[in-house]
Amino acid sequence: MSLLRITEIFYSLQGESNTVGLPTVFIRLTGCPLRCVYCDTAYAFTGGEKIGIDAIIAQAEQYGTQYITVTGGEPLAQPGCLELMTRLLDKGYIVSLETSGALDVSEVDQRVIKVMDFKTPSSGELSRNRYQNIEYLTPKDQVKFVIGNGEDYDWSKSVLTEYDLPNLCEILFSPVMGQQNPTELAEKILKDRLPVRFQLQLHKILWDDAQGK
């Protein structure tokens, strides 16, 4: 039986991505090979509890929503994550995967909505971006850029152009809370007429939740 190390399973409103505001079950897997400067889920780096996939699905089913987000940490660091997502999809759930983009996504079930985070310079993990993953993006997927300063913004714009990302999938620009003024970022996006979705993390606005729940 496949076991996954799980930090938590909880029910909340989706705080970001293009399903923001929808009631969603979050399955947070433990562990991450990256150490981004602005990480808000460092508590998921270690610990957790080993749980079988059947038990994980049973917990998710309690909440009666069709939306499930598999997150971390970095969920793809655990190979059993692939089986979990496919099992959920086979049950009719709409499954999204929040991934750093540093690990190979080629084996992810094609039905999964990938929300892939390209690491900007201020993250401290710029060198970990796996650009080969772009090949596996589809129109239902999303690429997220977390913007901490002007350098991050300019770098993100250049990546959009270099890889023609807006024609591959949806693009999300999100400010680092407490570091990048959100109004300034919004105004830059408008001034430059970027084909991106500006987003704030809803959960942090509603519940002042610094840990990203």
List the chain pLDDT tens, one digit each, 213 residues: 689 999 999 999 998 888 999 999 999 999 999 999 988 889 999 999 999 999 999 999 999 999 999 999 999 999 999 999 999 999 999 999 999 999 999 999 999 999 999 999 999 999 999 999 999 999 999 999 999 999 999 999 999 999 999 999 999 999 998 899 999 999 999 999 999 999 998 877 888 764 444
CB 140 within 8 A of CB 169: yes
Asked if 99 contacts 141 with a C-beta cutoff of 8 angstroms, the reply is no
Q: Is 18 helix (H, G, I), strand (E, B) or coil?
A: coil
Query: Could you state, in order of their start, the residue ranges of all structural domains in the chain?
Result: 3-207
Rg of the Cα atoms in the chain: 16
How many Cβ atoms are within 10 Å of 210's Cβ, its own excluded? Answer: 11
DSSP E strand boundaries for the chain: 3-13, 23-29, 49-52, 67-71, 94-99, 113-118, 142-147, 170-175, 197-198
What top-level class would CATH report for the domain 3-207? alpha beta
pLDDT in tens, 88-113: 999 999 999 999 999 999 999 999 99
Residues in the chain: 213
Please classify residue 24 by burial: count the beta carbons closer than 10 Å to its beta carbon, then call 0-12 exposed, 13-18 middle and 19+ buried.
Answer: buried
